[in-house]
Amino acid sequence: MKKPGIFLAVVGGLIGMGIILSVYGNFLMFEELSKGDGDVSSEQDLMVKVMLDHTEIKKGIYAVQIINFEDITITASILDPFNQQIESHSIDEELFEGFFEVETSGNYTLLIENDENQVKVFGVIGPEPEEWKKSLDLSSFIILAVGLIGMIGVTVFIIINRKKETS
């Protein structure tokens, strides 16, 4: 075990691979989502639309983030292709995520409304990510964690060996 440089290279490679897989996994998970942001007030709503095919997608996902959250309540609704409300939630937290059933093909709309002061909001809507995309995200986290733990272990090993050599 006189070559800690090799171990540092291996764990550094694991960390690099974990970061690359994480970025790629996030890209895959978010590429099909429609995104929108803007100011929402009693006079202005935010609408984000996405085309979903019920033969391929059974479940949709949506998320709303209130930028600079300050004890405000907004309403997020999902409208089906016939403009019928199929889901609605009052949101009084900075970040909210919800799911909805995709029963017919067409444009689904995330409608964000606010009856209070103007607030900046970010919203996304789209198909729920496939299982393999979720597992890629989990795998990248595990690889990154193993690399970081390995980096700590190799560093401790180097320090202990240097202390022994100087004694």
Domain boundaries, the chain: 1-31+130-167, 33-128
Sheet holding 74-79, edge to edge: 46-52, 106-113, 74-79, 85-91
Could you give the C-alpha distances from 151 to 7, 40, 125, in angstroms and in order?
8, 46, 39
Round to whole Å and give the CA distance between 127 and 159. Answer: 50
Q: Which CATH architecture group holds 33-128?
A: Sandwich (2.60)
Residue 142: its pLDDT value, please?
Answer: 93
Q: Terminus-to-terminus CA distance in the chain, angstroms?
A: 18
Mean pLDDT, 10 residues at a time, the chain of 167 residues: 76 91 85 90 91 92 89 90 93 92 94 89 91 83 92 86 76
Residue 167: its pLDDT value, please?
Answer: 66
Task: Report whether 123 contacts 64 (CB < 8 A).
Answer: yes
